[in-house]
Structure 1
Amino acid sequence: MEDLTLRGKTISYFENINLAQVKSVIRAIAHMHKNVLTADPSLWRGKFLKNQTVLADVSNVLHSMIEPLIKKSKREGKN
């Protein structure tokens, strides 16, 4: 991904965004999706295997915490 620190802009909650800006953002996102979906698999396949099981490992850890959390919250047996 490209670093947009120097080119990006943040807007406050109360600033408005106009239709041209919305269209520009949508166009950029569509272009990014097109590039990802049409990328040659030989460029990326097999390169990101190191952390592919992180989410599964985290879910196993979280699953082991559910029962103690329910007991501590005094909601055991309640729906």
Structure 2
Amino acid sequence: MATVAVTGHMRIDPQRSAAIADSLRAVLARSSADGLTGLSCLAEGADALFADLVLEAGGRLEVVLPSHDYRARMVAPH
């Protein structure tokens, strides 16, 4: 079993998102053979991209909430 965690910027430059996704896929591909768990707070940007790619790779997610009011303080209404 492999557990992978990523944190990154909330605003990803659209011109770089494909390269970032490719890099993350390469890391996840090395981990998915033994079972993959991704740790993420599901924030907009890099964290959400990572979570999507973990699911795409057939892995499972564990969500980490940094504080009890994280959503109210850090997440935009949309």
- In the superposition, the TM-score normalised over structure 1's length comes to 0.28
- In the superposition, the TM-score normalised over structure 2's length comes to 0.28
More helix by share: 1
More strand by share: 2
User: Relative contact order (C-alpha < 8 Å, sep 6+): which is higher?
Assistant: 2
